[in-house]
Structure 1
Amino acid sequence: MALVSMTQLLEKAQKEHYAVGAFNCNNMEIVQAIVAAAEAENAPVIIQASQGAIKYAGIEYITALTKVAASNANVPIALHLDHGTSFAQVMQCARNGFSSVMIDGSKLPLEDNIALTNKVIEAVRPLGLSVEAELGKIGGTEDDITVSEREALFTDPAEAKHFVQATQVDALAIAIGTAHGQYIGIPKLDFERLTKIREQISTPIVLHGSSGVPDDALREAISRGVCKVNIDTNIREAFVRAARAVLEGNAKEIDPRKMLGPAREAATAIIREKIRVFGSNGKA
């Protein structure tokens, strides 16, 4: 099956009230794990590549690996740029066969974010690519900001409405209390803010930084309108834990397959769990 547009996946998810898992890849084994999990759960899936992944593996390798995986899969797969920060990088992904891109102008003033997003949409939508943007600032793992500062980072519902009307973007990532990386403590999501944003826009809503969010909170967010959930850290944790266990059991092991095989299996298992939490199992 050829790569599909993320829009195609999210429109169905929004209509049927589940979320599509968007899982970050960094190497061949993780691409294989994502697709194996999606096949096992009969679920649509989004494979994401961040700037770090592209720098590490190379954009040609990531694209080729994902295209091979998709061509042999029986479930729909989109290949998505995660947190693209420049027009040039977005166009590089478009030229190399990505089916979807994210342009992250969240650090810019609102009108500049809108202008950058529209520039990307104008360039890639005629090519059939979908575009995700971000409004609000999704933080890191440190919990040393005050409530007022924390609130200032969250997505404003009125701004979300203005942004969507001004761009007609295909998906909008919002900030309601999640963070990238490993959490210190349990994150508290602002569900009322999410509901207000959902009331203002009909665009598919994306939740970043979801690895440390409890399953019940993810289900609640999905019930309130989130239909794309990003997972990266949980995959890394499972992958490295399994590889480390092999070395701890046999410090003289030199066969990378003996380490990466179990790591791939562990990644597949956690991705399958997330797919079931998102409710996308059986939705391919």
Structure 2
Amino acid sequence: MLADLAGVLAEARAQGRGVAAFNVIHLEHAQALVGAAEDVGLPVVLQVSENTVRFHGALAPLAAAARVLAEAATVPVVLHLDHAVSTDLVEEALGAGFTSVMFDGSTLEDSENRAVTRAVVDRCHAAGVSVEAELGEIGGKDGVHAPGVRTRPDEAAQFARDTGVDALAVAVGSSHAMTHRTAVLDLDLIAAIAAQVPVPLVLHGSSGVPDDGIQAAVRAGMTKINIATHLNAVFTAAVRERLAADDALVDTRKYLGPARAAVRAEAARLLALVALR
């Protein structure tokens, strides 16, 4: 069933568990992720990033496929636009039936970030759509690891009040696009931010965080856990293994199928992990 991010996160936060959010790059990802959520009976967030929209050349085709899968699911599925820097793309997502958007104004000057984010929130809330924003440089989207950057609890609380966002991504030691799970999170900082910020917190760059670190972050106050690169690695490894086993293979279903199954199994494991099961 298609679900609203704010409601899914509020329930999880009240229960002291996390919700996993995974990036969708193509149809096989969406199928695997919805299947994984149904396998473990937990909600899931399907994320389509602005980078993925650029790769496909349009939002509508992938969005339509993901929405069909979400609506047919037996568990809550949030359809989320991730790391949108274009307000035009946000508007397109509203028309495509997304139930959540993440507006990324983290590279803007502070006052402009707050003003634009507030305007996005007002527009999305009028359409019944949740909004996530980011405060602090999490790093890694352009290959830059910024481990020293941290979000201040008082600034995060003020930002949430100023903008009215439903969820806030904060910088606590992770970085986007990490291929090794070596990131060390500042758990005391997570707890301090969670104590002051009235909305659920989001951990970006979770692919670089080991299992025990992810669970510790949820216990410290994180609710939405974004994982993308790790599942891309799982998918790619399965494709490589299948192709290496048969030099004559040309039917794409013969290697995309195993890759989809591998992502489904690992996503199910991560969904349970994040939910502290």
Query: How far apart are residue 18 of structure 1 and its match?
Result: 0.7
CA deviations 1:104-143 (Å, max 9, x no partner) are: 1111222211111101011111111000000001112555
CA distance in structure 2 between the aligned counterparts of 1:11 and 1:19, rounded to whole angstroms: 10
- The aligned residue for residue 33 of structure 1 is 32
CA deviations 1:46-95 (Å, max 9, x no partner) are: 00001121123331112211121122210011100110112112111111
Q: CA RMSD in A?
A: 1.5
Code of the aligned partner of 1:270: E
The 4+ residue runs of structure 1 with deviation greater than 6 A are none
- The aligned residue for residue 188 of structure 1 is 184
Q: TM-score, normalised by structure 2?
A: 0.95
Q: Secondary structure at the match of 1:199?
A: helix
Q: Secondary structure at the match of 2:225?
A: strand
Task: Within 5 Å, give how 1:123-142 maps onto structure 2.
Answer: 123-140=123-140
CA deviations 1:142-164 (Å, max 9, x no partner) are: 55x6xxxx43x211111101101
- In the alignment, structure 1 segments of 5+ residues that lack a partner are none
- The aligned residue for residue 19 of structure 1 is 18
On the 8 A contact 2:151/2:171 being kept in 1, the answer is yes
Task: Within 5 Å, give how 1:64-83 maps onto structure 2.
Answer: 64-83=64-83
CA distance in structure 2 between the aligned counterparts of 1:142 and 1:92, rounded to whole angstroms: 29
On the 8 A contact 2:181/2:210 being kept in 1, the answer is no
- The aligned residue for residue 114 of structure 1 is 114
Code of the aligned partner of 1:6: L
CA distance in structure 2 between the aligned counterparts of 1:11 and 1:255, rounded to whole angstroms: 44
CA distance in structure 2 between the aligned counterparts of 1:82 and 1:69, rounded to whole angstroms: 18
CA deviations 1:187-238 (Å, max 9, x no partner) are: 1111111111111112100000001201111111101111100010111101
Identity %: 39
Does 1 or 2 have the higher relative contact order (CA < 8 Å, sep 6+)? 1
Aligned counterpart for 2:224 among listed residues 210, 225, 228? 228
Q: TM-score, normalised by structure 1?
A: 0.93
CA distance in structure 1 between the aligned counterparts of 2:209 and 2:181, rounded to whole angstroms: 10
- In the alignment, structure 2 segments of 5+ residues that lack a partner are none
CA distance in structure 2 between the aligned counterparts of 1:217 and 1:184, rounded to whole angstroms: 13
Over 3 Å counting, the alpha-carbon distance change for 1:272 and 1:231 in structure 2 is same
CA distance in structure 2 between the aligned counterparts of 1:139 and 1:126, rounded to whole angstroms: 31
- The aligned residue for residue 90 of structure 1 is 90
CA distance in structure 2 between the aligned counterparts of 1:250 and 1:101, rounded to whole angstroms: 42
CA distance in structure 1 between the aligned counterparts of 2:177 and 2:209, rounded to whole angstroms: 11
Kindly tell me the number of residue pairs found equivalent between the two proteins.
274
- The aligned residue for residue 248 of structure 1 is 244
